[in-house]
Amino acid sequence: MRPFTYERAETAAGAARAAAAPGARFIAGGTNLIDLMKLEIERPAHLVDVSRLPLAQIAETAEGGLRIGAMATNAAVASDRRVRTRYPVLAQALLAGASAQLRNKARIGGNLVQRTRCGYFYDPAKPCNKREPGAGCSALEGLNRTHAILGASEACIAVHPSDMAVALSALGAGIETVTPAGEARTLGIDEVHRLPGETPHVETNLAAGELVSAVTLPPPPEGRQSYRKVRDRASYASALFSLAIAGPALALGAVALKPWRAVAAEAALARGASAAEAAEAELAGARGRGRNDFKIALARRVIAAALQEGRG
């Protein structure tokens, strides 16, 4: 691990200001960042510890939703009675992710901005455009079984690993931030992450030093909620494909470099299309890269089966 300096932030605005400096990074749960620092894939010059900021509360909003502080742990959010009863898709997605030890440590703000688990991103001996812009993408012709089928580019076919973000996308969550100038702003969950395009190293639309301070949930949607995750092991494994359903809204996980709100499938269903037709509408533009071709069929079948189940 490379040497770094460290400070414990006392306010969100102070943290954002400090983290805007070149080479500075926030650290909260640290479960992803420290892993990558050990591999020297992350080499921060300075760490701004935001883990003790008073941003872990879960509170009702005036609109009938919930506001979840970004420093709440995954475990705390999944265990919250209001989340479990009113937003079960979110509790299920959180509980489907990582291990209990990691969920006790990881914070939901960090969960949103975690890095991909692409094996080539994790292997400094192999070219990766995320690690080194312009170096090339080893996954295009490589071991790409877990990689993207939607929204990828010739520069990067990695996927975003968060389960939680998929549920948040289906719920239409808002993401509150504090900028280095000390201003508050709110983004929709679908505006946070970027598709790779030519610049896969630029992963979010957050500015340097912009701190995620809270996640806001609108009132629970009418209708069913569920999170279905398909993976190689029954527990403690990343998704090969996941589907969040929140009333009329659908979001797909492990298909792209961002949680994938399935607007085409939603529109098809609203027009009265069958479950299979809706899945087809969403996946019309899907593209496999060889070893991940199966994901297209997998996605189609899981979407169709889950929607069919809902119609009973």
Residues that bind other proteins (CB under 8 A): 1, 3-11, 14, 18, 27, 30-31, 34-35, 38, 46-47, 49, 51, 75, 78-79, 81, 84-85, 88, 91-92, 95-96, 98-102, 104-105, 234-236
Q: In whole angstroms, how close is the CB of 85 to other proteins at the nearest point?
A: 5
Supply the minimum distance, in Å, between the C-beta of residue 26 and other proteins.
12
We find the least distance from the C-beta atom of residue 36 to other proteins, in angstroms, to be: 10
Please, are residues 216 and 70 in contact by the beta-carbon 8 Å criterion? no
Q: Which is nearer to other proteins, 88 or 127 (CB)?
A: 88
Give min distance, CB of 3 to other proteins, in A: 6
Nearer to other proteins, 119 or 151 (CB): 119
The structure tokens listed for 167 are: 């549920």
In sequence order, the 6+-apart residues with CB closer than 8 A to the CB of 300 are 276, 279, 280, 283
Q: Using CB atoms within 10 A of its CB, is residue 40 exposed (0-12), middle (13-18) or buried (19+)?
A: exposed
> What CA–CA distance (Å, rounded) separates 13 from 2?
27
Q: Which of 80/203 has CB closer to other proteins?
A: 80
CB of 12 to other proteins, least distance (A): 10
Task: For strands 241-246 and 225-230, give the pairing.
Answer: antiparallel
Smaller CB separation from other proteins, 210 or 266 = 210
**109 versus 196: smaller Cβ distance to other proteins:** 109
Helix (H, G, I), strand (E, B) or coil at 230: strand
Q: Which is nearer to other proteins, 98 or 150 (CB)?
A: 98
Q: Annotate 116-125 with b (16+ C-beta within 10 A) or e (fewer).
A: bebbbbbeee
Smallest distance from the beta carbon of 13 to other proteins, in angstroms? 8
CB 250 within 8 A of CB 240: no
CB nearer to other proteins: give 84 or 126.
84
Phi (first) and psi of residue 152, to 5 degrees: -85, 175
The closest alpha carbon to 173, from 210, 226, 220, 211, belongs to 220
Enumerate the H helices of the chain as residue ranges.
12-19, 33-38, 74-79, 81-86, 88-95, 100-105, 108-112, 164-171, 263-270, 275-283, 294-311
Of the pair 95, 158, the CB lying nearest other proteins is at 95
The least distance separating other proteins from the CB of residue 122, rounded to whole angstroms, comes to 10
Q: Give me the least distance between CB of 52 and other proteins, in Å please.
A: 9
